[in-house]
Structure 1
């Protein structure tokens, strides 16, 4: 994210993090005004990057619906992107691609729906023009076929997010029992499949005409623009849109439970039992919300948390605990969630929670913990408003729910004012002795793991029925009389100016140990992001010790020679910093964020983590159990199954790269602490390491802070295995993994393609933009989602690796059209080379070049640039060279690249779904008998 610019933020970070009783001085400047039709406009200028974010926020979410007609607000989030009178069908997506935008997107909550994107600053008038279409020139374009198709898209989204994943129905059960019938939060934002199917065109139009009116909407513009010019455009495009009916405010509707409710559900996908406890809480910006957030953080977050210590370390019941105060406009809920280990009785989990609460009642929250939590929450708050889009979101949120956009300058002060007494007070008020809802989600056939005296929850499960969905033809044009306007709105506004792309200047240094440093100095805010990358990762494992790199990375932050795990975590958080270690296919990284002034102290902790490991046997055994639990959990997740099986197909089951990065149950169970020590001693060397840094720090300061690491880290040579040149299969085959009762089929289609170091890699990415890399600008999305309603989302990509990585198409489609969707993808791939046109190339070039204006907005983006330079040997100005490559590409070049790297006759077609209903028809793809991959079928392959 890009952090805020003002020097006063330096006072906030450097002062209030360590003197919590002082009010922050930081202010975000903004201007508000309203049009005569009631539209509220908020402007915030930020000239640091050549980009501008435009967001339209409607004060309507699922809470404005009626039971039996749920899901309308979310349905509109989809419909409003499809067409308008003056942009035409798919016009906004086409416009976004041409101008280099981030892609038009939206989100729906219980209480609001927003529409947003970030674009190069020369396209601001175009975006204001396009957003005005949503309010004044949209509803006539919605036809019966359009509605029928979008119902299918939304229903696919529900299957993907809820019906086809472990624990997906949890919040449905919680909310139906926490909020009484008739309460606006009794149903889910996404609605029910039945309600969506029953929605009529008139229902939709009535909903739109009531809620999508200027006097119920906020327009936010944030970024690099001229205020007077922006105001002129807002008036031009929005003034003549008529005001709607008066919108009445909803009264707050906090709830109380007259009894505790216990419910259980046997989950088709869950492999582990999960307990969720929910207490009625407060609405957003309630005075108690700040203390409740700190309470939840203290009780459950991190190794110092009482619930972690009790359930994870002492009782050995779970590997993780989560707690959150989830607030909305009218009410809220305090949620505590524990995913227990396999076979654990959830009554024992609840008993451990009770014991933890009892201890807390005696001790309260220690002063040091209150201090570190405030430090972390404050940093998180500023990160949430660190991009121009983030600030735009928050300003609109405060306007709607606090009736005061200036709340953005008050919230940190309220959080910092929370005392230990406040934390205990809200615990007593909302948790101690209070009724709650408890849900036990247990694996199928294991109801005995649920809380005692739980009732069976009512969960609506969709039946898989072939041919159950209605047919529609979205190609038919809507017939309507255009809405009159004082000027011709079909004329697209011009660009204004030209964004100045400034590629960050990269500096480098070399330490005596052989460690290389790459950096970008950026003084917008007093923050630094860093990553110490050590080549190796999974590549240096053997199949017999698969997962050892992941285990080592996880253990490295669990204490050092002089600090216990809890002491290390506390030392990091008191600096207002974060440090993580992760291992991937090709490297291990120690990465994080810190205040610039605390960079030297943070590097001392990095040195301890890297060079003074604790090798704690107890933590190692705990980590093994947590990893085994993760592996068990993945067995029920269709998406995890698909990824694990796809890697085996791409790399061959004997290659280490085909293994789950967590390892296998056998290798993890057999692993000894000495295995981690051996990997550490043999493979972590400064000769193969790069320290990447971006932020408010100069080269010499970085080098000084890293001297101790370099001096204490002896260089050693590491032998890297030769990675085979992976090849596509000689002929395509269909592979199927059976998940009985799956509500979706998860697709991963692809083959080994090209290395990120190849001269073809970036041109191949360019080629893929119109195929499946460009979201709504891609053919896969346009045909499978927009044309057929088969899926919520589909994409294709080339995975960047130093070795030959795969081209992969991934999606989740509704179960009963599995064959049809697979067949259509195959057809699109077959036709893509011959049907790629000069117009396709023009759109692709425009996006690839113009989107570079957004490429370096955040510190994270700058660090990613350094990572690509370090990992793949790119030149410091590789962005400019990529632009030149794009300009030189011809239609014939794209066609040849497609033929070379995207061949539907030499691919693995992997499907994870319900074999009973879908397997047989897949023979019709023409690739022979589908091969079942479930473990019981392995010997027959």
Structure 2
């Protein structure tokens, strides 16, 4: 399929062809509303739009490039449909809708989709909730059965117990994502000051904790009755399917569900502020942060596009005023401006993370942010400002069409909020038509001298750093007596067929692994590629074997710092000039480093690949290595390390690696380095590592795009003069002897959750050996949502938002890890359940049912592995890095189908011995230590 935007056709007239087809062949009650086709070299997504008699909107997009389908059901309900004092229902419902329905058993939704080889999830925001599955195309009818059953038959299966368990799960999610994260509560407190009391965006999507507590199961039932009818939903299906058969299925499963109460659009009065509001909070953070917000318009308002361009000029990357005035001069570690829009309101949002080395005073940062705004007024808008933002919008639109899920999401979004799936071309026109005068007009109307909200977030005990004393206190909530308004009586549906019978699966799909070519540059650099005709884009990665693994422990952090330097100035141009050149192309070039490799990621429109690779060559072969760049980046890395010390996930990963590998091995020290190692790094170290790492002998390239082998190799010929020998990895020092059975506690005072990691060193990567079989063995234990560990700790006990276990392997070593973030008050109980599940699985082994589930899920799931260019590039790299056979996935499928319980149970005995594992807990030692010691295991306190 080649439905493209020409890279230079920003101002082209892009229209679809709409028409009607005969209705006679359609199922009774299904009406075809429009057919949209897209001509060659035009933007858009071809689709057909239907309406069922009950009000359900159906959108079909056919794409046979991969044997899969993506099903999305979007309900026009988010937290904005809630009332004050009764928040959290929309998000709670996202969880509840996975708990089974009248004809689908408890936990069966996840199990059914996973066993079908699919993936699934749901998301909630202020304005909509969506549920989606991507599955092999022969599983489509089963997905429609599942989605229709929870739309029409959810309430009969709703119980008080399910409600209580999912309420606990939501509390755990809040603790993990908000309460236990640096700056986690900033957004919800900011919105209380930004929006008028009672505004639908003034409360958090996840809900206030006290609102969740006052909810009961009847409130949940009423919320479902009010908002989850077919007339408030859009069903969008994309992928490889038979159209007439799909229409018949949709009508069968959804057509008999009665409409819900009428739904009308909310009004969109513009948000205003009477004066500038200052608020502040203390948090367990290292970097003080100031955030400023101006109220503007709402999504797709006539001024939205111009405001987006204004935000990019002020704070969109290295060419922006914020970067120049705050980051480059070292006053801020990060700074930016954006203009996120929602259905009812937008925010013109600015932020800066202060550099404590410059004092960290947020009043000074606020002053500089205001001065940047004034500088824009004097500077005005340039032709380049307009062009680069339009190119970036165009490019992001194209990249969004690389997957079926991306296209389905776009169609569903546009239909839900505009009543028209075909909005891509009109959106492009909106941005293409913005003028300099438009940008200045919206600046004067919404930003210049206008009231704003200014929020300071400072480390605990350092209120002297806030920008200004608070002058606003959020009013107390007005708790509504009723949680839901406009509810009608529940209608019990009598189905016309037996819904208890799960649909049968269609004929097996034909797996389509990428057709791979391999070539070489004149200097011997290996290139692997595959052709992808989905979009006119190229994804290209240059890998350099080595990375952090090459670095002596006392210089940890050097690989990443060197990559950061290569993202800066060249000998010819400044970092800002290079960033501007890439922005004008709609391309991205990013140098980075990980444990075993450095890399250069290149994303480009095909028409601009030549110019983009010229920039890669300039940065790679002619780095500037300027002292000013080095000092700024080093300071940013140090401050980032200090910041990450407040992140419990980072603390857990760093400490756990140290336990497994020891502090004398690179694998036992974070690739970001430590405060001591990074502080000692010099520009000379960077230059020396550059010479060692960035040589042709270390390089391999993968390329995915709509160019053939000869065309890609011709573009890459500019790297044929690259020289240098490969670098051998130094030997690892002796690995520490693990104190198996020991529990280590790393204290994080006041933590809302405990991070638990249980594990040991394990097998190195092997695509077809015991490593792969261990992945299969672990699948029922902790590798799937409905695994033993997750069902126990999340669904049964309500201890966590999610728990899992996995094997991960590299070229030298591997690990087995079981992990979860759990409520602090159940830390010891969660450990007991972890131990019980791992021991029980090791002793009794996999069941026949689990074996069948694993084989079906893993085998069928391969249909989803190669859809996007990014996925294809990862597949190529795996073959390249580990020197695998091109057909290794076929060998894996054979192994999956033939592996026996005896083999898997033997591996479980071998790999899951708890006596060989260490346990790390990052949490509030004062509240968890006594209960943990009572378990009878050796307990030690760990210091980083």
Q: What is the TM-score with the length of structure 2 in the denominator?
A: 0.93
Aligned positions of 1:652-667 closer than 5 A: 652-667=662-677
Which residue of structure 2 lines up, in the alignment, with residue 429 of structure 1? 445
Which residue of structure 2 lines up, in the alignment, with residue 255 of structure 1? 271
1:682-704, Cα deviation, whole Å (9 max, x unpaired): 23322221111111112222222
Which residue of structure 2 lines up, in the alignment, with residue 470 of structure 1? none
Query: How many Å separate the matches in 2 of 1:707 and 1:374?
Result: 31
TM-fit CA distance, 1:919: 1.2
User: Aligned to 1:498, what secondary structure does the other structure show?
Assistant: coil
User: Aligned to 1:553, what secondary structure does the other structure show?
Assistant: helix
Query: How many Å separate the matches in 1 of 2:937 and 2:796?
Result: 26
TM-fit CA distance, 1:14: 2.2
User: Which of these residues, 811, 820, 823, is aligned with residue 802 of structure 1?
Assistant: 811
Does 247-256 or 858-867 show the bigger shift? 247-256
1:508-553, Cα deviation, whole Å (9 max, x unpaired): 1122323111111222322110110000101111122111111001
Which residue of structure 2 lines up, in the alignment, with residue 674 of structure 1? 684
Which residue of structure 2 lines up, in the alignment, with residue 34 of structure 1? 51
User: Which of these residues, 755, 758, 765, is aligned with residue 756 of structure 1?
Assistant: 765
TM-fit CA distance, 1:575: 2.3
Query: How many Å separate the matches in 1 of 2:645 and 2:390?
Result: 38
Which residue of structure 2 lines up, in the alignment, with residue 6 of structure 1? 2
Are the counterparts in 1 of residues 766 and 772 from structure 2 also a CA contact under 8 Å?
no
TM-fit CA distance, 1:804: 0.9
Are the counterparts in 2 of residues 264 and 455 from structure 1 also a CA contact under 8 Å?
no
Verify: 1:868 aligned to 2:878, yes or no: yes
User: Which of these residues, 289, 312, 335, is aligned with residue 321 of structure 1?
Assistant: 335
1:269-314, Cα deviation, whole Å (9 max, x unpaired): 2111000101112111111111111211221121111110000113
Are the counterparts in 2 of residues 513 and 715 from structure 1 also a CA contact under 8 Å?
no
Are the counterparts in 2 of residues 265 and 456 from structure 1 also a CA contact under 8 Å?
no
1:598-640, Cα deviation, whole Å (9 max, x unpaired): 3233222222121111111110111011101101101111111
Query: How many Å separate the matches in 2 of 1:128 and 1:101?
Result: 14
Which residue of structure 2 lines up, in the alignment, with residue 465 of structure 1? none
User: Which of these residues, 535, 546, 570, is aligned with residue 536 of structure 1?
Assistant: 546
Change (3 A) 1:21 1:129: closer
Does 233-242 or 727-736 show the bigger shift? 727-736
Aligned positions of 1:629-778 closer than 5 A: 629-711=639-721, 713-723=722-732, 729=738, 731-757=740-766, 759-774=769-784, 776-778=785-787
TM-fit CA distance, 1:69: 1.1
User: Which of these residues, 435, 440, 446, is aligned with residue 462 of structure 2?
Assistant: 446
User: Which of these residues, 780, 784, 787, is aligned with residue 793 of structure 2?
Assistant: 784
User: Aligned to 1:15, what secondary structure does the other structure show?
Assistant: coil
1:302-334, Cα deviation, whole Å (9 max, x unpaired): 1111110000113x2112112221211111211
Change (3 A) 1:442 1:455: farther
Query: How many Å separate the matches in 1 of 2:136 and 2:537?
Result: 25
Which residue of structure 2 lines up, in the alignment, with residue 464 of structure 1? none
Which residue of structure 1 lines up, in the alignment, with residue 294 of structure 2? 279
Which residue of structure 2 lines up, in the alignment, with residue 56 of structure 1? 73
Verify: 1:852 aligned to 2:862, yes or no: yes
TM-fit CA distance, 1:430: 1.2
Change (3 A) 1:482 1:891: farther
User: Which of these residues, 88, 97, 103, is aligned with residue 80 of structure 1?
Assistant: 97
Are the counterparts in 2 of residues 254 and 332 from structure 1 also a CA contact under 8 Å?
no
TM-fit CA distance, 1:901: 2.0
Verify: 1:165 aligned to 2:181, yes or no: yes
Query: How many Å separate the matches in 2 of 1:26 and 1:732?
Result: 59
Which residue of structure 1 lines up, in the alignment, with residue 377 of structure 2? 361
User: Aligned to 1:186, what secondary structure does the other structure show?
Assistant: coil
Which residue of structure 2 lines up, in the alignment, with residue 207 of structure 1? 223
Segments of 5+ residues of structure 2 without an aligned counterpart are 16-40, 477-489
Which residue of structure 2 lines up, in the alignment, with residue 475 of structure 1? none
1:467-506, Cα deviation, whole Å (9 max, x unpaired): xxxxxxxxxxxxx998531110011111222211121111
Query: How many Å separate the matches in 2 of 1:689 and 1:719?
Result: 13
1:901-924, Cα deviation, whole Å (9 max, x unpaired): 222221121111111111111123
1:865-923, Cα deviation, whole Å (9 max, x unpaired): 01111221211111111101111211111112222222222112111111111111112
Aligned positions of 1:138-177 closer than 5 A: 138-177=154-193
User: Which of these residues, 104, 110, 116, is aligned with residue 99 of structure 1?
Assistant: 116
Verify: 1:337 aligned to 2:351, yes or no: yes
What RMSD in Å do the two structures reach over aligned CA positions? 1.9
Which residue of structure 2 lines up, in the alignment, with residue 939 of structure 1? none
User: Which of these residues, 240, 252, 256, is aligned with residue 240 of structure 1?
Assistant: 256
TM-fit CA distance, 1:572: 1.9
Query: How many Å separate the matches in 2 of 1:216 and 1:456?
Result: 38
Are the counterparts in 2 of residues 727 and 752 from structure 1 also a CA contact under 8 Å?
no
Does 399-408 or 78-87 show the bigger shift? 399-408
Query: How many Å separate the matches in 1 of 2:841 and 2:91?
Result: 33
Are the counterparts in 2 of residues 57 and 113 from structure 1 also a CA contact under 8 Å?
yes
Change (3 A) 1:855 1:717: closer
Segments of 5+ residues of structure 1 without an aligned counterpart are 461-479, 936-941
Query: How many Å separate the matches in 1 of 2:156 and 2:337?
Result: 45
Query: How many Å separate the matches in 2 of 1:575 and 1:367?
Result: 15
Query: How many Å separate the matches in 2 of 1:769 and 1:420?
Result: 56
Query: How many Å separate the matches in 1 of 2:864 and 2:692?
Result: 41
Query: How many Å separate the matches in 1 of 2:324 and 2:807?
Result: 42
TM-fit CA distance, 1:864: 0.2
User: Which of these residues, 826, 829, 835, is aligned with residue 835 of structure 2?
Assistant: 826
Which residue of structure 1 lines up, in the alignment, with residue 26 of structure 2? none
TM-fit CA distance, 1:806: 1.3
1:317-364, Cα deviation, whole Å (9 max, x unpaired): 112112221211111211111111124100110111111111100112
Query: How many Å separate the matches in 2 of 1:725 and 1:839?
Result: 42
User: Which of these residues, 2, 8, 25, is aligned with residue 15 of structure 1?
Assistant: 8
Which residue of structure 1 lines up, in the alignment, with residue 432 of structure 2? 416
Query: How many Å separate the matches in 1 of 2:361 and 2:473?
Result: 18
1:223-256, Cα deviation, whole Å (9 max, x unpaired): 1111111110011011111112222321113210
1:727-763, Cα deviation, whole Å (9 max, x unpaired): 7725221111111111111122211111113721111
Verify: 1:116 aligned to 2:132, yes or no: yes
Are the counterparts in 1 of residues 659 and 738 from structure 2 also a CA contact under 8 Å?
no
Query: How many Å separate the matches in 1 of 2:308 and 2:546?
Result: 40
1:577-602, Cα deviation, whole Å (9 max, x unpaired): 11101100000000121122332332
Query: How many Å separate the matches in 1 of 2:200 and 2:691?
Result: 59
Query: How many Å separate the matches in 1 of 2:804 and 2:313?
Result: 39
TM-fit CA distance, 1:20: 8.0
Verify: 1:69 aligned to 2:86, yes or no: yes
Verify: 1:376 aligned to 2:392, yes or no: yes
Query: How many Å separate the matches in 2 of 1:731 and 1:658?
Result: 17
Verify: 1:196 aligned to 2:205, yes or no: no
Which residue of structure 1 lines up, in the alignment, with residue 19 of structure 2? none
Q: What is the TM-score with the length of structure 1 in the denominator?
A: 0.93
Which residue of structure 1 lines up, in the alignment, with residue 920 of structure 2? 910
